Amino acid sequence: MRAQHLRVARPSDDLGALVAFYRDALGFAVIGSFEDHAGFDGVMLGHPDQPYHVEFTRERGAHAGRAPSAEHLLVFYLADEAAWDEALARLDRAGVARVASHNPYWDEHGVTVEDPDGYRIVLHRGPWR
């Protein structure tokens, strides 16, 4: 079977704020970017050894707005205890506050934070089952 890769893409009004958040608070790396591609600017962030990345785009002259609800989530499962500890320390160093999850399940099993656009990221403590 061929290796698979997942890209999650969404629009934003502030690519710079998202880059700082995903890079500094979540430890992602900028793996690509583009400017004025048919009126769009964009940036891709991910981890070179993981089969996923996120893409944020800004359409020139358009307004993307904020997350439509508190249930728009990206969930990352951190099975390794050292990775969990480092993720929490990175959030603290970046000054990112935790938020109460809309669904209490996530608070029982991890921490939830909000990115600059109001979308929520859950860091789940433990492996995907």
- Domain count of the fold of the chain: 2
Q: Domain check: are 51 and 82 in the same one?
A: no
At 1, the pLDDT band (50, 70, 90 cuts) reads low
Model pTM score: 0.92
Q: What is the mean pLDDT of residues 75-83?
A: 95
User: Tell me: the pLDDT tens digits for 16-74?
Assistant: 999 999 999 999 999 999 999 999 999 999 998 899 999 999 999 999 999 999 999 99
Range of the domain at 106: 73-125
Q: Domain check: are 85 and 117 in the same one?
A: yes
Q: CB 108: neighbour CB atoms within 10 A?
A: 9
- Residue 123 is predicted with a pLDDT of 97
What percentage of the chain carries pLDDT values higher than 70?
98
CATH code of the domain containing 102: 3.10.180.10
- Residue 45 is predicted with a pLDDT of 98
Asked whether residue 65 is assigned to any structural domain, the reply reads: no
